Structure 1
Amino acid sequence: MKNYLFAGSHEHGERAAIIYSLLQTCKLQGIDPAAYLHDVLLRINDHKQSKLRELLPQNWKPLSRNEYATTQTA
């Protein structure tokens, strides 16, 4: 736990570990972490809670430009 000594608090250290885990999973899946985060952060507010697993790196499929355009106009 010394790695997170300066995270501010135990909760902040846990949050940082979650983010690091997501980014490392992207790398293991051969996904550009920046592209993943950009896509997921744009989509997450409109995504059904029951389907959030679709946004995990191992299940993630980027939207095509047409799919993205239709979600933005809806």
Structure 2
Amino acid sequence: MKLIWAIIAAGFCLRLGLTLAHNGFLGVDGGAYFLNMLDVLGQEHTEQGFPRPLLAPGWTLFPFAELFGWDIGYKIWASVA
């Protein structure tokens, strides 16, 4: 059981390290996630996105973006997700 947790922790640390090492990394769909976050918060955005379910990913991304800023917050959120 400890081996499984060690593998999970190592994978998380590796993924977090790789995403934090690339400036401006937004992954595959990061821009759409930010548009959805702005939509669920009721803020203006570019209307370029498409509707997504309520909890995915706007509400879950917001705390990370608020605490760490959009770039680092998204990277941490992407590593956790």
Question: Smaller-chain TM-score range?
Answer: 0.3 to 0.5
Give the TM-score of the pair, scaled to structure 2.
Answer: 0.37
Give the TM-score of the pair, scaled to structure 1.
Answer: 0.40
Kindly indicate which of the two structures has a greater share of residues assigned to helix: 1
Where relative contact order (Cα < 8 A, 6+ residues apart) is larger, the structure is 2
Q: Which has the larger radius of gyration?
A: 1
